[in-house]
Structures are given as C-alpha cells and as structure tokens.
Chain A
Amino acid sequence: MIPATHVLVLASALFFLSLTGLLIRRNVLVMLLCIELMLGSVALVFVALAEVHGGLRGQVVGLFVLAIAVAQIGIGLAMLMLLYRRRGELNPTSWERLKDW
C-alpha cells in the first residue's frame, strides 16, 4: 500500500513541472500538453485525498476532470489545426495582430 503522501508529492511535482513547461516553452502544442498535464496532476491529488478521507467523492471528481480534459483537448487540437494551417508554425509570440495596447 503506497501512502497518500507519496502520491501527493508526485502530483505536486507533476503540477509544477507542467507549470514550468507552460511558462518556458513557446509552442502552442506543448503549452496545451502542459495544461492537460496540470489537469491530470490535480486529478491525481483528488484520488489521493479520496484515499485519505474515505468515500468515493474524490475519485468521482477525478473522473470528471479526465472527461473534461478530453473535451478540452478536442477543441484544443481543432484550434491547433486552424493555427498551423495558416502560418505553418505554432509559436504563440508570432500571433500579435491584436497586440497594440
């Protein structure tokens, strides 16, 4: 039996790793993957906490998070197709048509 603390440490490491990735990478695809990883790590937190508190509520939340993450990636990939078709690259800093202040 793995203690819940181990899982929580893993989840927080995963969360901050993906947050770092989101902040330093300049590619919309990788940024999208990092967001999904953040959601996955929070789902892991909920599952671990469900173990601590007993009951199924945390696990149910984890399942919902996964389902929503799938919906999000569905729209995200459609968006990537739209962005890539026009420019042939996915660097978000090259999209600054609206960036006057």
Chain B
Amino acid sequence: MNLAWADAACFLPEIVVIATAAIGLMLERPLRRVQSDVGSWIALAGLALAGVVTLRFSPSGDALGGIFVRDAFTSTFELAAIGVGTLATLLGSSFLRAVDYRRTEFFPILLLTITGVMIAAGARDFLLLFVGLEILALGGATLLGFFTPNEKSREALMKSFITSGIATAFLLLGFAFVFGVTGSTHYDEVATRVAAHAGTGHPFLELGFGLVVVSLLVRIMAFPFNMYAADALQGAPGPAAGAFSVATVLGGFAALFRIFEEAGAASCNVEWSILLGIAAGSTMVLSSLYATYQDNVKRMLSYATLAHVGFLLAGFAVAYSPKLSAAQSEAVLSAVVFYLLGFVFLQAGAFAIISAVFFGRRFGEYLAEFRGLGRRCPVAGLAYVAIFLSLAGFPPTFVFLAKVQILGAALQAEMFVLTAAAIVGSLIGAFYHLRVLVVMYFRENPHAPGVIPSVPLVTAMTLVTVGVVGIGIFPEKALQTAIESVRVLF
C-alpha cells in the first residue's frame, strides 16, 4: 500500500481543515497579545476553502487501500460538518469577545473536532472509524471544557470525557469481537463473512455489533446512554455546546449508516428495528418531558437536542423493519439524512439564542431573562421563530417534510407505538418552544438585560434563519443531495 497523490486528493478537504487548525495553533500566542479576531478569520477562510474543495476539486474514489472512500455520502456529511464549523466559529468569536477570554485555540480545536466527523463519515474500516470518532470525542470534550474559569464548564468536560472514554472502550471491544469472528476490519470483508453466517447467526458477531451500536448510541446521545448529555450541553459555553452536539450526532449517525449498510450489521440475526425503536421512542418522550420542566432555557434546549436525536433514531430504526422493502428503507434513510442537514441549522440557531443575552459577567440562561428579546433583538427573535416553526412542524419548513416521511414509513412498518411516541414528543416539543417564544415577544422586562448583537452573532442568526426557511421553501436541492448520498450505500 503506497501513499499516492490520488490518495491525498481524496483527503483534500480534511487536509485543508487540519492545515488551517495547525496554522491557527501556531499563531495563537502572537494573536493573544494583539486582541483581534484574526483567529476566527483564519478558521472561516479555511472552512470556506474546504467547502469549495469538497464541492469542486475532490475526486470520488477509494483512498489508502480502500479504508477511506469519498462518495456522495462522505461529501454530504463533510459539507454538514463544514457548515457546523462555520456557524460555531461565528458564535465562538462573538462569545470570546463578550466574555473577554482571548484564547483563539477555540477555533483550531473546533476544526479538529469537525475533522473527526469528516473522517468518520468516509471510513470504511473499523480502524479508521475508531480514529475519526476518537478525534471527534477528544476534540468535542475539550470544546465543552474550553471556558475553564467557569466551574460548570469543567463539570461538563469531566462528565462527557469519562462517558466517552467508557464508550470508546466498548466500541473497541465490539470491534474486537467482530474482528475475532471475521478476521478483518475492512467493511467489505466483514460484510462477506457476516453474510456467510446470515442463516444461523454467530453469537460473538451479534455481541460485537451490539457493543458497537451501544457505543454509537452513547455518541449520538440516545436513551439510556444520555444521562451525561444534558449536563454536558448545559455546562458548556453556548457555541461549544452547539458544535459538540451537532458534530457528535453527525459522526455517530455516519458511522451507524456505514456499519449497517456496508459492514453488514443489518443482516445480523438481531431485531435492530425493535431495539433501536425502543431507544428512539424513550429518547423522544423522556427528553421532551424533561424539557417541559426546565426554567433554564439552555437546559431545555439541551433536552430539545435529545428529542431531535430520538426522532432521527426513530427514522433509522424504521428503516430496518423487516416489513419495509429495500426502496422504502432507502427513502426513510434519505429522510434521516435530510433531517440531519436541517439539524445543523436548528442546533446552531438554538445555541445562538443562548449566546445573545449577556449580563457583563454571565450569559442569560433562565426563562425570565429572555423577556422582550424578540423586540430588542429582532434577528434573534426571527431565528427562534424559524426554529419553532420547524419544530412544531409547520409545512414550509424542512423538518416537517422529513418528519412526515419518517412517520409515514413507521406506519407502513406497523410500528404504532413508535409513531405515537414520535407524535407525542413533537407535540410536547411545540409546547415548550412556544413558551419561550411567548416570553420573548409578549413579556416586558423591567430591567432590560444586555443584548449583544455583535456582527458575527447576527451573521450566524441570519444564516440560520435563511437556511431553515430557504431549505423549507426550496427543498429539492437538499432532498436530492440526501437521496444521492444514501443511494451510494445500497
């Protein structure tokens, strides 16, 4: 196996992002003295370049002897990761300026985190998948604990770090079981051996894939492995929480897609649709219920994140129901990818709102502190309205389209309990988001809090609003991307 230029060309977006991170780290010391936003500008330039490279210059094909593949699926997830990176860079630059915490290494760590997503999306070998997920987990945990003066941020770091460490150990144990049975770590070879055991099954194979799936459920923060998630997202600084939640969900789902479709986990003798359906249903209902109890908007939005994850996982579970034909499961999976693309915007928007109210020492988190925000900062209000409409399922928003498709498929698969859980979860979701919206628009605040409509924050909120509404009105392009990216897996 020789490293050739063709391999490097396949990795070009990753190389650009990592190089940008390296430049950012080298310039961190000098930049800290001069108090400027150059760090975020470097990151934005690198991300823009990576986006252009992904869209235009990077060839499809295998790299490094087939352990990494660049196809439509990889490119979609890479673009989503680059989108998260861009929005989180804007939010982060606004955050660092507000709290006067001049540590520009936030941006390189962010870039390395999304590199983990990009690698995990293209990995076709357990070894590379492990490396990608681990870069993602370590970078993500560092982001959560980035604002070290704040004790809650440290607590978020500790909780997510210990949990992800345990998850990594079980992921590797799962890989070891699969490797022990099949003698390979490459998806194609694993799938061939799995197919040979298809009729009778093999206990170690099922145990191995089970451990891998459990560990990925920890990554995507699904019940019952999400006890750390709400704490971690609440304690972390807003931009870091947004970036971490999207990155870890994107990486986890990319790994799930490839392991199920390409490594043959789907053809194991396991009722995946029931196991994943239970996880999905309880994630949706429990997180929605928890969210309604919160006075703290940040914690409420953390639980809202988990409710999204539950819906995404429900789509994934439905796709592996034996009652659906291959074409139908392909359609559901592309709805899941479509939902994931929207999830990027929703999360960035939600955590942008959290970074909008600032009291000089700390950011506003409690419901009462958001009174009147919609009128004093119209961009924030609009962004939240866009998020609310897509969550509540109003037709011109894309989440509605994805949800309708997932629910329709769930009915076809005769998974009625899951469908009911999804509908109940969505209704509760509409309720607690409406509560915040009412406070933002119809309650006056006697002592007006400091709103910081800084340029990067306003840009991020505008991008979110335009993205949510734009994809909702013109969904063809994004739908097409989602369908094409799932098609290469089948």
Residues of A within 8 A of B (CB): 15, 22, 28, 31-32, 35, 38-39, 42-43, 45-46, 49, 52-53, 55, 57-58, 60-61, 64-65, 68, 71-72, 75-76, 79, 82-83, 86, 92, 95, 97-101
The minimal Cβ–Cβ distance linking A42 to chain B, given in whole angstroms, is 4
Q: Which chain A residue lies CB-closest to B166?
A: A35
Query: Given A68-B131, A98-B231, are A35 and B172 also a contact pair (CB < 8 Å)?
Result: no
The answer for the CA separation of A16 and B138 in the assembled complex, in Å, is 24
**Are B138's CB and A75's CB within 8 A?**
yes
**Are B152's CB and A97's CB within 8 A?**
yes
The answer for the CA separation of A31 and B176 in the assembled complex, in Å, is 22
Taking CB atoms, residues of chain B closer than 8 Å to A32 are 162, 165
Query: Given A39-B168, A65-B172, are A75 and B142 also a contact pair (CB < 8 Å)?
Result: yes
Query: Given A68-B134, A72-B168, are A98 and B157 also a contact pair (CB < 8 Å)?
Result: no
Q: Which chain A residue lies CB-closest to B234?
A: A98
Main secondary structure of the interface of A (DSSP, over half): helix
**Are A49's CB and B176's CB within 8 A?**
yes
Q: Is B151 an interface residue (CB 8 A)?
A: yes
The answer for the CA separation of A58 and B186 in the assembled complex, in Å, is 12
The answer for the CA separation of A60 and B131 in the assembled complex, in Å, is 12
Taking CB atoms, residues of chain A closer than 8 Å to B166 are 22, 35, 38
**Are A75's CB and B161's CB within 8 A?**
yes
Main secondary structure of the interface of B (DSSP, over half): helix
Other A-B pairs, 11, CB within 8 Å; known A52-B180, A75-B161? A45-B173, A60-B127, A61-B179, A64-B131, A65-B130, A75-B138, A75-B141, A92-B158, A95-B159, A98-B155, A101-B293
- What 6 pairs between A and B have smallest CB-CB spacing? A38-B169, A35-B165, A53-B183, A98-B231, A42-B172, A45-B176
For chain B, the count of residues having a C-beta within 8 Å of the partner chain is 40
Query: Given A39-B169, A98-B234, A99-B231, are A28 and B158 also a contact pair (CB < 8 Å)?
Result: yes
Q: Which chain B residue lies CB-closest to A86?
A: B151
Our pick among A15, A38, A57, A79 for the contact of B145 (Cβ within 8 Å) is A79
The answer for the CA separation of A69 and B172 in the assembled complex, in Å, is 12
Taking CB atoms, residues of chain A closer than 8 Å to B172 are 39, 42-43, 65
The answer for the CA separation of A24 and B147 in the assembled complex, in Å, is 30
Taking CB atoms, residues of chain B closer than 8 Å to A57 are 179, 184-185
The minimal Cβ–Cβ distance linking B442 to chain A, given in whole angstroms, is 27
The minimal Cβ–Cβ distance linking B204 to chain A, given in whole angstroms, is 11
The answer for the CA separation of A53 and B131 in the assembled complex, in Å, is 23
Q: Which chain B residue lies CB-closest to A11?
A: B176
Taking CB atoms, residues of chain A closer than 8 Å to B155 are 95, 97-98
A-B contact pairs, 12 of them (CB 8 A): A35-B165, A38-B166, A38-B173, A53-B179, A57-B185, A64-B131, A68-B131, A68-B168, A72-B134, A75-B161, A79-B154, A98-B159
The answer for the CA separation of A101 and B134 in the assembled complex, in Å, is 29
Q: Is B314 an interface residue (CB 8 A)?
A: no
The answer for the CA separation of A55 and B189 in the assembled complex, in Å, is 14
Our pick among B127, B138, B157, B169 for the contact of A64 (Cβ within 8 Å) is B127
**Are B162's CB and A31's CB within 8 A?**
yes
**Are A42's CB and B145's CB within 8 A?**
no
The minimal Cβ–Cβ distance linking B229 to chain A, given in whole angstroms, is 11
Query: Of B126, B142, B148, B176, which is in contact with the most chain A CB atoms at under 10 Å from its CB?
Result: B176
Q: Which chain A residue lies CB-closest to B126?
A: A61
The minimal Cβ–Cβ distance linking A51 to chain B, given in whole angstroms, is 11
The minimal Cβ–Cβ distance linking A27 to chain B, given in whole angstroms, is 12
Taking CB atoms, residues of chain B closer than 8 Å to A38 are 166, 169, 173
**Are A92's CB and B162's CB within 8 A?**
yes
The answer for the CA separation of A66 and B131 in the assembled complex, in Å, is 11
The answer for the CA separation of A65 and B156 in the assembled complex, in Å, is 25
**Are A98's CB and B235's CB within 8 A?**
yes
Q: Is B290 an interface residue (CB 8 A)?
A: yes
The answer for the CA separation of A42 and B169 in the assembled complex, in Å, is 7
Q: Which chain B residue lies CB-closest to A99?
A: B231
**Are B161's CB and A79's CB within 8 A?**
yes
Query: Given A28-B158, A75-B161, A86-B154, are A97 and B179 also a contact pair (CB < 8 Å)?
Result: no
Taking CB atoms, residues of chain B closer than 8 Å to A92 are 158, 162
Taking CB atoms, residues of chain A closer than 8 Å to B130 are 61, 64-65, 68
Taking CB atoms, residues of chain A closer than 8 Å to B173 are 15, 38, 42, 45
The answer for the CA separation of A38 and B299 in the assembled complex, in Å, is 32
Q: Which chain B residue lies CB-closest to A92?
A: B158
The answer for the CA separation of A86 and B169 in the assembled complex, in Å, is 29
The answer for the CA separation of A98 and B159 in the assembled complex, in Å, is 10
The minimal Cβ–Cβ distance linking A62 to chain B, given in whole angstroms, is 10
The answer for the CA separation of A57 and B127 in the assembled complex, in Å, is 9
